Structure 1
Amino acid sequence: AALRGLVAWGRYSRQPRTFVSVLKTKQTRRQDGEDGPCGDGGVSEIEFEACESLVGDTGRQDARWELMSDKGSSQMWRRKVIAESDAKGQWVYRARAVLEGEGLDSVLEALTNTDIRTEWDSHCASMRRVSLLGDGVTEVIYSSVRFPFPLCDRDYVFYRRLVRRQGGGFMVARSARKGLVAEVEGVVRVDNFESHFAVVPRGDGKG
């Protein structure tokens, strides 16, 4: 399977490490307590448009993207976020990878199963589902991430929704409104985060 995505990180985070993706980041701007397009903070259908647009889009023709790594079956790019003054130092990352021998279901299981996240992601200290929103499809997820000394560990509270369409799986996650999960002393809460992932089978059925 080929995995692609879109991710936004707040001012306290650094370059993400991931085993797979077209990973693209963008900044989100919402006031404290402001809900998303669903009204309750859930992920709406319109937010999947950018996610679906990743299929077949490598971004190579966009000069703003700096190629950081190219290992044949996987590539990673980045670009500076310059839209607003308080985003100084923030980077947007995107990546693309082909997973040989892995089917759609197994890749989606690895991405969404909170019980096994720590088994393949060495930076993830914990991940759990907090609740399910009223729309019945959007989850509230809590995740804590280890950072090397002297940096403080980070944690995230975000909405997450997965849909299957066009023969693939598409997942959108973004920061949840404040107050859903209490902050932890000594851990920095990342409050400006968004990610889009597109997972599509290869035409030959081998990945």
Structure 2
Amino acid sequence: MELAFTEEQFQEAWKELDERALPEGWELFTETMGIQIYRLYDQKTGLYEYKIYGGLADCPAELCADVYMDLDYRKQWDQYVKALQEDRNGEDKVIYWEVKYPFPLSNRDYVYIRERRDLDVTGRKIFVILAQSISVPHCPEKSGIVRVNGYKQSLAIESDGSNGCKVFMYYFDNPGGMIPSWLINWAAKSGVPNFLKDMQKACKGYATKDSSK
């Protein structure tokens, strides 16, 4: 299995930190706590793609990237994680992730690959993480859990010149099943900023954890 990410995708992600790529069709969905969320309607699926721009104070860029990549630590701070583990599929690492959904909805799960690159862009250190869903025989669908397909995510992180970081995130998935539109809107409008707030807290906890070693 070949890695699915191209050099161009990494370049596109970090460039969003400098100049937002929001061609016609993208609309400002919500703005809160210094975070702006844009969305684009996808005709094929009837769902939205999202782009998030913002920053995390008191969260250095490399630390933020480390926290995001640390699956074991995420199980401690992300209350929606039901299961999260990494398996090898040949040379590549495949991640299995089950997300808790509120009753009466079924939990969702993801099978995906990801790659992190630490880029040097004319002296700027930028961390880019790409992820996308994949189908592999050793992670079949489970009864009672809805498999999410079409998951794609890009994340670019750079220092804000102080002790925090600038963040760009692109996100799309198809949660499947009969989820009311109000819940999908709530997840984007409330869930994303809350996730970034949790990330901020996790960064502080991670720094404390490392310094106590």
- Normalised to the residue count of structure 1, the TM-score between the two structures is 0.69
Give the count of matched residue pairs: 161
For residue 56 of structure 1, report the CA deviation from its aligned partner. Answer: 1.6
Contact 1:139–1:159 (8 Å) recurs in 2: yes
Q: Which amino acid aligns with 2:119?
A: R
Aligned to 1:159: 113
- CA root-mean-square deviation: 2.1
For residue 160 of structure 1, report the CA deviation from its aligned partner. Answer: 0.5
Residue 96 of structure 1: which of 28, 36, 53 is its match?
53
Aligned to 1:49: 11
Contact 1:139–1:161 (8 Å) recurs in 2: no
Tell me the percent identity: 22
For residue 63 of structure 1, report the CA deviation from its aligned partner. Answer: 4.6
Contact 1:41–1:176 (8 Å) recurs in 2: no
Large movers: runs of 4+ above 4 Å: none
For residue 111 of structure 1, report the CA deviation from its aligned partner. Answer: 0.8
Q: Which amino acid aligns with 1:74?
A: I
Cα distance in 1 for residues equivalent to 2:8 and 2:39: 25
For residue 126 of structure 1, report the CA deviation from its aligned partner. Answer: 1.9
For residue 76 of structure 1, report the CA deviation from its aligned partner. Answer: 1.1
Q: Which amino acid aligns with 1:170?
A: V
The correspondence of residues 142-181 of structure 1 with structure 2, limited to 5 A, is 142-166=96-120, 167-181=125-139
Q: Which structure 1 residue ranges, 5 or more long, are not aligned?
A: 1-38
Contact 1:133–1:140 (8 Å) recurs in 2: no
Change (3 A) 1:119 1:69: farther
Cα distance in 2 for residues equivalent to 1:97 and 1:173: 20
Q: Which structure 2 residue ranges, 5 or more long, are not aligned?
A: 166-213
Change (3 A) 1:177 1:41: farther
Counting helix residues as a fraction of each chain, which structure ranks higher? 2
The correspondence of residues 8-19 of structure 1 with structure 2, limited to 5 A, is none
Q: Which amino acid aligns with 1:43?
A: F
Contact 2:59–2:163 (8 Å) recurs in 1: no
Aligned to 2:189: none
Cα distance in 2 for residues equivalent to 1:46 and 1:66: 25
- Normalised to the residue count of structure 2, the TM-score between the two structures is 0.68
